[in-house]
């Protein structure tokens, strides 16, 4: 079963690179704050690199002006996420999080079987709006689609 509005973000750990490799707990990321977490099937993939991440980069300041943190998650290792961030000119503050083993993806019920493409199990494309650890907006794409998880769509449909 997939995550839905009203559910608490499950507690798992993710990786990120800052001053070195860090492990971060989802409760630490989400408790006490507003955040949008969007997930992509893979760093450096066509739609993710041409449209999904660039939209959040472009509109990052609009999220921040509303007091909303922005997290990008993929089932990639943290070194790939860091390299992708550099190629996409990701601003400081937009956190690139590695769900390398797919623990968060599985806990959310949002796995994508991309084994036929040689990519293994990945995350479906989605965005979640979270307040104090509770999902308040859920934007999950149908396979092969890119509509409801875009930065523009999420900004326009944030719950009041």
> Please, what is the average pLDDT of the chain?
95
The mean pLDDT value for 11-33 works out to 96
* Cβ–Cβ < 8 Å for 62, 33: no
Average confidence (pLDDT) over 142-157:
95
Is 152 a residue whose pLDDT tops 80? yes
The per-residue pLDDT for 69 is: 98
Catalytic residue among 29, 40, 48, 128: 48
Each domain of the chain, given as residue ranges in start order, spans 13-156
CATH of 13-156, one of 3.30.530.20, 3.40.190.10, 3.40.30.10, 3.40.50.720: 3.40.30.10
Weakest-pLDDT range from 49-53, 132-136, 141-145: 141-145
Length of the chain: 160
Strands (E), the chain: 13-17, 21-25, 34-40, 68-74, 95-98, 111-113, 121-123, 126-131, 134-140
Residue 16 has pLDDT above 80, yes or no: yes
What is residue 125's predicted lDDT score, i.e. its pLDDT?
96
Q: Is 36 left (phi over 0), alpha (psi -120 to 50) or beta?
A: beta
**48 is known as an active-site residue:** yes
Better-predicted residue by pLDDT, 109 or 122: 109
Helices (H), the chain: 26-30, 46-47, 53-65, 78-87, 103-108, 151-156
% of the chain beyond a pLDDT of 70: 100
Encode pLDDT of 71-91 as tens digits: 999 999 999 999 999 999 999
What pLDDT is recorded for position 112?
Answer: 87
Residue 120 in this model has a pLDDT that exceeds 80: no
């Amino acid at each position: 079963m997939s995550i839905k509005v009203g559910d608490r973000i499950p507690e798992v750990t993710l990786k990120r690179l800052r001053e070195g490799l860090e492990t971060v707990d989802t409760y630490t990321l989400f408790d006490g704050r507003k955040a949008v977490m969007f997930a992509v099937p893979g760093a450096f993939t066509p739609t993710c690199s041409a449209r999904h991440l660039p939209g959040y980069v472009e509109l990052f300041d609009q999220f921040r002006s509303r007091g909303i943190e922005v997290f990008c998650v993929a089932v990639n290792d943290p070194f790939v996420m860091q390299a992708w961030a550099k190629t996409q000119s990701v601003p400081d503050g937009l956190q690139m999080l590695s769900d390398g083993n797919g623990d968060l993806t599985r806990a959310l019920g949002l796995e994508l079987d991309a084994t036929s493409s040689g990519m293994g199990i990945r995350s479906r494309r989605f965005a979640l709006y979270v307040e104090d650890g509770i999902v308040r907006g859920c934007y999950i794409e149908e396979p092969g689609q890119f509509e409801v998880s875009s930065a523009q769509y999420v900004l326009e449909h944030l719950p009041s």
